[in-house]
Amino acid sequence: MRNIFTKKWHRKMQVAGFLTFHETKEDWDNDVAWYEAEGRNFEEECRRDLEHYKRDLLEFLPESFHPYIHDGTIRSQFPSPELRAMAEQWKKEYDEHNRSQYSEYRSRFLSIQGRLPKNVVQLYEKSLHDARVLSFEIPNKDTFSMVLDCSGAFHYYTDIRLTFKGVDIDSLNISEVFVGSSWIYDEVYLANTGFELHVLLESPLGELTITAQDIEIEILDR
């Protein structure tokens, strides 16, 4: 099974969010009026928003969407019935694919859970979503350590230190990890020497893969 939570997956998720339209023309008109009342240029902000996502929209959406992307009407006008129908169908298929992937991964995780170190299972079960990277280091040749601020995360609500032991340093790539990055999603798999952890980070968007034998989770006093 290939990794689910990759940078490409995240970019496609942003496209799905981009295809969220106003439900009614009245809602659209009220939104445009609000921008005007706030002294903001609605058309210019739509143009900038479209330019930001244009490459991904053209990559992930079928060619039937491309005329709306190139002329800007996918963002600058209330959606036509045809555009709305295409968007709803694309998002339906996108959601179904995601659910299938998550279900497959969850089943696979449960099948290997008994062979994983207990702290690795805890790492997965107690999600670190929205934890912020405070520091990271390689203190010796087979150890990797990260300190995370979990005050805005789903668990712990304080700083924690993750110490990965028996790390395969040769396969460790931390080039996309930065202080201030947020840990958003992770996956755990079995590896020949223990387990393999894949982490998707954002701000900036990056991926981290760690192969190790065990992990220590330490709650730190602030």
pLDDT tens readout for residues 110-127:
999 999 999 999 999 999
What is the sign, positive or negative, of the torsion defined by CA atoms of 215, 107, 208, 156?
A: negative
What is the sign, positive or negative, of the torsion defined by CA atoms of 42, 46, 49, 51?
A: negative
Q: Averaged over 214-221, what is the pLDDT?
A: 94
Spatial distance between the Cα atoms of 75 and 19, rounded to a whole number of angstroms: 9
Q: What percent of the chain has pLDDT over 70?
A: 99
Check residue 222 and give its pLDDT. Answer: 64
Each residue of 138-164: pLDDT tens digit? Answer: 999 899 999 999 999 999 999 999 999
Each residue of 92-113: pLDDT tens digit? Answer: 999 999 999 999 999 999 999 9
Each residue of 69-94: pLDDT tens digit? Answer: 999 999 999 999 999 999 999 999 99
Q: Which residues pair with 215 in a beta bridge?
A: 164
pLDDT over 70 (residue 172): yes
Spatial distance between the Cα atoms of 149 and 11, rounded to a whole number of angstroms: 25
pLDDT over 80 (residue 1): no
pLDDT over 60 (residue 207): yes
Collapsing DSSP to helix, strand or coil, 4 comes out as coil
Spatial distance between the Cα atoms of 188 and 143, rounded to a whole number of angstroms: 18
125 vs 94, 110, 122, 161, 165, CA distance in Å?
A: 25, 11, 5, 17, 20
Half-sphere exposure of 185 (CA within 13 A, CB side): 14
pLDDT over 90 (residue 2): no
What's the mean per-residue pLDDT of the chain? Answer: 95
pTM: 0.88
